Amino acid sequence: MIIGEKAGVPAVAVAPAESPTERVRAAARRGGALRRFDWPLAGSAVALALIGAVLVWSATRERSALTGGDPQYFLKRHLLNLGVGLVLAVAVSALDHKRMRALTPAVYLFAVLGLFAVLSPLGSTVNGARSWIELGAGFSIQPAEFAKVGVVMAVAMTLAARPTVRRAPDLLAPVFDARRPGDVPSARLLCLALLAAAAPMGLIALLPDLGTTMVIVATVVGMIVVSGVRLRVLALLTIAASGGVVAIVKLHLLAAHQVNRFAAFADPNLDPQGVGYNTHQARLAIGSGGIFGQGLFHGAQTNGQFVPEQQTDFVFTVAGEELGLVGGLLIIALFAVLLWRACAIARLATEPFPLLLAAGVLCWFTFQTFENIGMTLGIMPVAGIPLPFVSYGGSSMFANFIAVGLLENVRLRSTR
């Protein structure tokens, strides 16, 4: 735009104002995407996965029945899963938000169809849960892990859509202030979001997989809170959820092994050789580690193979026994960095959809980490879920790094 001459003042050319998208692109050209990449987030995730590789190796190298005579079998598979996970994270972080929205229905449909496949004759049962699809050559897939990604994306897209209703400022506004000022999802959108989460949750409950169901519930609740719904709506949802829990208990809808896990949690000394065996051995392993641990590969409980599922759900017991309190605190510190960066990225978001994506991943990782470590310490019931990034498992590793890719995607496209 040209401002004309007046009273002897020369004309001045004024550049048109840049849109937010143009500012992001200009910043990317000046500094490059690598400068905008959240390296503490990626570094903490990779560090956790590498620590997990060592812990998984320690837990499985003497278990010839699992390794087929190759002590490094699980170590190599874990590192392979890490490599594939990194590729997935980079691919997801490269998508723009419009394409992310466009892909959301396909991701959600893929997750739901995978859960239907598990319930079909294609599924296989492990530890009382029909959660796996065997692919042959020692490879398998657990669709419930990818359902977490599908639910986060679907709920975020639904809650971020219009129409919205006006609201008064709330207590969360200073924390997550990227929502449209004064707007919250309408009752219709809230119901659609709950339905989107209910479909995979119902299928997962039929497997039965109580742990993953708990993770999805915690994630969806957190996303609804961040979306800014009114307190009375949250109160109604809480009452409805409480009624659902009572109905599940009264109608005896939980499997016998799930009821036994809650019984063992309520009474830690209940049947230590039966239903309470896992938690009893886990506490023994962690307690025997002391401050600095018994030394890597020298844990008595680990070498004696006393802790079941130690390379997956109970991998934290290896750290507690062999690396002691120091090693356990190091893992918790890395998770603290990861969650801090997820929270910071959510605050950087300038639109509801990326905000809710980041908030969903934050709630997912927070609850699953607390539940897994808590069940090894006896402060949470055994729920059969892995420790993110640390536990062995390809499906879990892939889903976790896809979630990291979602966070990096939001970070790279934030305009603040």
Task: Give domain limits for the chain.
Answer: 41-412
Looking at residues 42-71, what average pLDDT do you find? Answer: 91
Per-residue pLDDT, 171: 44
Per-residue pLDDT, 12: 47
Tokens, residue 405: 């890719």
Stated pTM of the model: 0.85
pLDDT tier, 26 (very low <50, low <70, confident <90, very high otherwise): low
The answer to whether 270 and 263 are in contact (CB under 8 A) is: yes
Per-residue pLDDT, 82: 96
pLDDT tier, 277 (very low <50, low <70, confident <90, very high otherwise): confident
Q: Using CB atoms within 10 A of its CB, is residue 278 exposed (0-12), middle (13-18) or buried (19+)?
A: buried
Cα dist from 291 to 137, 173, 294, 413, whole Å = 41, 41, 9, 43
Report phi then psi at 268, rounded to 5. -60, -25
Per-residue pLDDT, 45: 97
Of 184, 99, 136, 94, whose CA–CA distance to 411 is shortest? 94
Sign of CA dihedral 335, 341, 344, 349: negative
Q: In the chain, what percentage of residues exceed pLDDT 70?
A: 77
3 state SS for 270-288: CCCCCCCHHHHHHHHHHHC
The answer to whether 117 and 133 are in contact (CB under 8 A) is: yes
Give the position of tokens 């892909």: 103
Alpha-carbon distance of 394 to 389, in angstroms, equals 10
Per-residue pLDDT, 308: 85
pLDDT tier, 18 (very low <50, low <70, confident <90, very high otherwise): low
Alpha-carbon distance of 268 to 276, in angstroms, equals 7
**Amino acid letter for position 411:** R
Residue of 413 and 394 predicted with greater confidence? 394
Cα dist from 111 to 118, 139, 304, whole Å = 11, 18, 38
Per-residue pLDDT, 16: 52
Looking at residues 87-114, what average pLDDT do you find? Answer: 91
